[in-house]
Amino acid sequence: MRDETEWADVDAYFEETFVKEPPFIAAAYEASCVAKLPMIAVSPAQGKFLAFLVRLTGAKRVLELGTLGGYSALWMASALPEDGHLVTLDHNPVCSGVARANFAHAGLADRITLRYGEALDSLKALVGEKGPAFDLVFIDANKSDYPVYLDWCVRLSRPGGLIIADNVVRDGRVADGDDHDPGVLGLRAFHQKVGASDTLDATGLQLVGVKGYDGLSFIRIV
Ligand code: DHB
Ligand code: MG
């Protein structure tokens, strides 16, 4: 049985061989460590994968729920074209401060808007503002609220848009119907909603690596 040490070793091997996290993104990670933010950002390989998705979909408008220190936002924003923009939402004042400093240090502050506040309030405000629809959404916030986030993110997305949800496996607990953790229940309700919709087309990938055993769901708005 392969274990977490080996998963982390392979991630380290990928990172040094070809992922090559840019220095401004490594600096954001370091600043997040120094500020003692929770070490729950996506891995470098996952961050680069998100950046690939931004490029491959040609996304110009990206929405992120859950900024933390801005690590994944920097990967995605760095893959946007000059006229692209990323909006990221966070309710934690410490995280928001660290993230804003990281965006400025990276020279990407003009390509990123951090909206500080409760995600649901910001999502409602975004709908009210009737801005251009989002091409790609990354949901990486409070897991128990994923089902309600889904509705708002669908409203804010263009047809053909892509919604990516982080942490949808949680060590396999998502498949355990007897697990009553609020986060796990939220993920199960989220997936149930996705599966019940005729206008959402979805798949999921289980992932192992330096972040343990978790996964991503991908939802395409038909
Ligand atoms: C947790 C949250 C995350 O977004 C993540 O990627 C890993 C862990 C958490 O709250 O435990
Ligand atoms: Mg996450």
To 5 degrees, how large is the angle CA 169–CA 96–CA 205? 15
Average pLDDT over every residue of 133-156: 98
Residues of the chain above pLDDT 70, percent: 100
- Ligand 2: distance of its center to the CA of 140 in Å? 5
Spatial distance between the Cα atoms of 76 and 47, rounded to a whole number of angstroms: 7
pLDDT digits (tens, 9 = 90+) for 93-114: 999 999 999 999 999 999 999 9
Q: What is the DSSP string of 98-125?
A: HHHHHHHHTT-GGGEEEEES-HHHHHHH
d(CA 75, CA 87): 13
Q: Which atom of ligand 1 is found nearest the CA of 183? A: 10
The pLDDT mean for the chain works out to 98
Structure tokens at 124: 């409602």
- Grade residue 3 by pLDDT with cuts at 50, 70 and 90: confident
Q: Is the pLDDT of residue 76 over 80?
A: yes
For ligand 1, which residues put their CB under 6 angstroms from it?
A: 40, 140, 166-167
Give the model confidence (pLDDT) of 159-183 as tens digits: 999 999 999 999 999 999 999 999 9
Which protein residue has the closest C-alpha to ligand 1 atom 2? 40
